[in-house]
Amino acid sequence: MRPPPFWDDTAPRSSAALTRALLSPLGALYAWAGARRLRTTTPAPAPAPVICVGNLTVGGVGKTPVTAALMRAAHQKGLKAAGLSRGWGGKLAGPVKVDAKLHSVSDVGDEPLLLSRLAPVYVARQRPEGALMAAQEGANLILMDDGHQNPSLEKTLSIVVVDAVTGWGPGTIFPAGPLREPVKAGLARADAVIVMCPSAEFTPDLEKLQLSDLEIPVLTAWLAPEAAPPSGPLLAFAGIGRPQKFYDALEAAGGTLADTASFPDHHAFTRGEIEELADLAESHNATLITTEKDHVRLPGGVKGSVIAWPVRAVFKDEARLDALIDQAMDSFANSR
């Protein structure tokens, strides 16, 4: 979802603080319900090691690129990794193995379709059922995209991803703020934290993020383009949690933005919308460009007219990411 203005703790408006205060009782109820679910649910045993890539806030922080990085790292180790997702926005309850030839975004959601290019991905509202199907079909490592607050499946390793710039926002619980649960409670269940930075040169403020005294690994990463942006004017559009991050990344990589157009997170683009964007791009003599995640949501007949700009998560110390996979594999083996 798109963060509302009152979630910005740097906003110099007293109305933002007032709005958060008025919504805080709902936030307390949301946190109570989540804590109760965690406390009263007995996780189903995992049929294979499960690494959960989650976060403590709503909105995009980079979980899917991190999951993709884990898929690549696992493949290099010779492991048969599989993705597991709830399939947000898709109509199929599962369990079902994602097939890009058979399934659309409306069936399984955009993130599973994107990740299925790298490894088998299973969609299941009931995560234990999806994990079981993945293991039965040969997976010896399950990478769960999101689910830190979902206690239904036993997790071998839980990774929390946080944006280095926006952090935890004003520190208030949804809907008063972006937090799904209190930071202290969420970090207490984490085995590692990945701080997603805007660039390789950025140094995150670990103290402000409440990470400086953690005894678990804290890794830093950033999104890097797999190719340079096209030359000439660009009309960039995105329907992700924070579209401005995409626009900033394009410019940082040398792209020339003639204009931008932002849509709600997980927006289902229509042919008419893309045709309107194409007309706008033509008026600027510009090329249409979007994220890979948005590109999979475009109607089939117009995908060819839009460039997908691929990025991947790059880690300051790749060996530490490998070590997390080894930790999960060893921990699961030792628990059996």
Q: Which long-range contacts (C-beta less than 8 Å, at least 24 apart) are formed by 242-250?
A: 242/3, 242/59, 242/60, 242/163, 242/166, 245/60, 245/198, 246/290, 246/291, 246/309, 248/198, 249/198, 249/223, 249/225, 249/311, 250/289, 250/309
Pairing label, strands 121-123, 96-97: antiparallel
Neighbours of 102 (CB within 10 A): 10
Burial 149-188 (b: 16+ CB within 10 A, else e): bbbbbbbbbbbbbbbbebbbbbebbbbbbbbbbbbeebbe
Pairing label, strands 256-262, 141-145: unpaired
pLDDT of residue 11: 57
pTM of the model as a whole = 0.90
- Closest by alpha carbon to 300, among 78, 7, 30, 104? 104
**121-123 β-sheet, strand order:** 96-97, 121-123, 81-85, 141-145, 50-54, 157-163, 192-197, 218-225, 311-315
Question: How confident is the model over 62-105, as pLDDT tens digits?
Answer: 899 999 999 999 999 999 999 999 988 889 998 999 998 899 88
Task: Kindly report the CATH number that applies to the domain delimited by 50-223+314-335.
Answer: 3.40.50.300
Between 18 and 197, where is the model more confident?
A: 197
The residues with which 235 forms a beta bridge, in sequence order, are 259, 288
Between 94 and 201, where is the model more confident?
A: 201
Cα(279)–Cα(273) distance, integer angstroms: 10
- Closest by alpha carbon to 218, among 226, 235, 206, 228? 206
**pLDDT over 90, % of the chain:** 73
Q: Map residue 312 onto helix, strand or coil.
A: strand
Residue 51: its H or E element: strand 50-54
Q: Are 103 and 113 in contact (CB under 8 A)?
A: yes
14 pLDDT band (50/70/90 cuts)? Answer: low
Cα(129)–Cα(6) distance, integer angstroms: 39
- Closest by alpha carbon to 171, among 24, 331, 39, 299? 24
Q: Are 35 and 185 in contact (CB under 8 A)?
A: yes
Question: How confident is the model over 27-62, as pLDDT tens digits?
Answer: 899 999 999 999 999 999 999 999 999 999 987 788
